[in-house]
Amino acid sequence: MRILGIGGAFGHDPSAALLVDGEIIAAAEEERFRRIKHAYSIPPSMAARFCLECAGLFPRDIDIVAFPFSAESQTKNRKEYAKRIFSHNPIRAIRAYTEHSRKINKKRAFLKKALLETGFDLSKTKIVEVDHHLAHASSAFHLSGFERAAILSLDGAGEYTSTLIAEGMPDGSIRELKSFVEPDSLGNYFAAITEYLGFIPNDGEFKVMGMAPYGDHNKIDLSFLLKLCNGEYRVEDGFVWAPWWRRAKGLNCDKRLIERLGPARVGDDVMEPYIHIAAALQKQLEDSAIYLLEHHLSDALKNSKGKLCVAGGCALNVKMNQVLLNHPLVSEIFVQPVANDAGTSLGAATYAAWLNGEKIAPLQNLYLGPDFNQREIEDALSKKNMKFEKVFPIEDRVADLLAHGKIVAWFQGRMEFGPRALGNRSILANPSIQGIADEINLRIKFREKWRPFCPSVLSEKAVEVIGSNHPAQYMILAFNAAEKAKELIKEAVHIDGSIRPQVVDAKANPRYHRLIRTFYEKTGVPAVINTSLNRRGEPMICRPEEAIEMFLASGLEYLAMGDCLICKSK
């Protein structure tokens, strides 16, 4: 069966994913093709066309289009949502009813536009609507390879639901145990404080996570904003849910929050009291996740022998994931690595596949985007009059450059699906050289100097670096760095001693594995710094032309694309 998932119904991170007979063939975010970060409200027609072309299919060949929005769920949840907010915001409660049909029609119009732009005949297209959080849950459970698991889905909201707690059963069904609706949303709460801290909501949350270790959570009390009691959590939305006219401008926090905490942060520096607010917020998220797990998932974890699946935008928070992994009830965790809304195209497709009796293959890797052959790469270089050297094997030359302290842009194979560069659209550096992280931040990425970097680690040496043999191939889990690693790869270790690794094995990415292996043989360092090939505020690079443009406009000295090596000094 051929199933195309179309994501993005809730306004950000639209994407498309293609399953054929239960196996992921292709997936990509629309932002990579449009070159607009998060591609807000843009139907993912370019991503959908790519998926079809990758498989040699036409729209008429698709059996089902799966869409991670359910009108039925929207209708069911609006009563609880309206009841929750009526006492202090009756206008919003009433709008849940008066604007109900308009909201549903808007979501369906989004899908219709995406399909028409892709070339579908709507009269001959079977559409399956999948509940938003069910899509998140399916993307984690059905791709985990677990027969049975506890499931936790945390994000802003979809169809008013902000949190889904469930159990994945041996027959593939997902049994809901508990859910929460807006305004009780950990994702929206984190987004509001993200804005207060000077970052863009639904974009800068990972920066808050990176800032948090510089602060002390005991120095700021945020308990007036989030309450945990009797298995429930309650967000005091009068502080963090702004009026609609402010939200339309991207402003999430209310002026009362500023009156309580002081002026919002501006600029790029880490400073008091904002580092302490970030630390307190991060601690609240971690504590809330553990609270929900202990109150609602203890039986599910016992039934599954400790297996936990996590998805939703909050699951991009690797420190929260680390705390969940370290919980005594958890033996193994699978965090769906495209955990944000981009991953709902995948989850809608997997859930539709399960509904139709398909056996779904576990996730193997995220190299699911466009690929460019050697001729296309050389043509792109020639059009820009770029001089290049063809090198065989190029990974050995790049390993030598890294060993000598050079920073290299690395463009190979199929583009990654999701927010993390995993060795195909990457900037690489030697993590043992003092100051190299600052150089990348200031001269190449043009981003905040306090932001941490991640290491790509040889699978053979992973235990020596991360102190664990738990699977960690997607930069979605944090670990406390082993003592030896704190010095050996010091530029990839955060201020709190944690690392967010990508463990690389030869099967998943043979060329990248060989590069790191050769680098290790030259230096004794079993990892490289790996950061995404893009500049601040831009989507990750997709095409050779974009890699060349970034190379020319940044402080990069070397670019390796396919078998071509480009050096600015030549």
End-to-end Cα, the chain, rounded Å: 52
For residues 493 and 527, give the distance between their C-alpha atoms in angstroms, rounded to a whole number: 12
Strand order in the sheet with 23-29: 23-29, 15-20, 2-7, 64-67, 127-129
3-class secondary structure, 151: strand
- Tens digit of each residue's pLDDT (9 = 90 or more) over 154-193: 999 999 999 999 999 999 999 999 999 998 999 999 998 9
Please identify every residue annotated as catalytic: 12
Mark the ranges of the chain whose per-residue pLDDT is less than 50.
243-250
For residues 72 and 65, give the distance between their C-alpha atoms in angstroms, rounded to a whole number: 17
**Partners of 161 in the β-ladder:** 158, 181
What pLDDT is attached to residue 93? 87
Q: What are phi and psi of 351, to 5 degrees?
A: -70, -40
Tokens (6 digits) for 456: 């790509």
What pLDDT is attached to residue 253? 65
DSSP string of 72-103, one letter each residue: HHHHHHHHHHHHHHTTT-HHHHHHHHHTHHHH
| CATH numbers and ranges of domains, the chain | 2-133+345-355 (3.30.420.40), 374-567 (3.90.870.20)
Q: 140, 311 in Cβ contact below 8 A?
A: yes
What pLDDT is attached to residue 431? 98
For residues 429 and 408, give the distance between their C-alpha atoms in angstroms, rounded to a whole number: 7
90-98 vs 100-118: helix axis angle to the nearest 10? 50
What pLDDT is attached to residue 187? 95
Any idea what the Cα angle at residue 250 is, between residues 244 and 252, rounded to 5°?
65
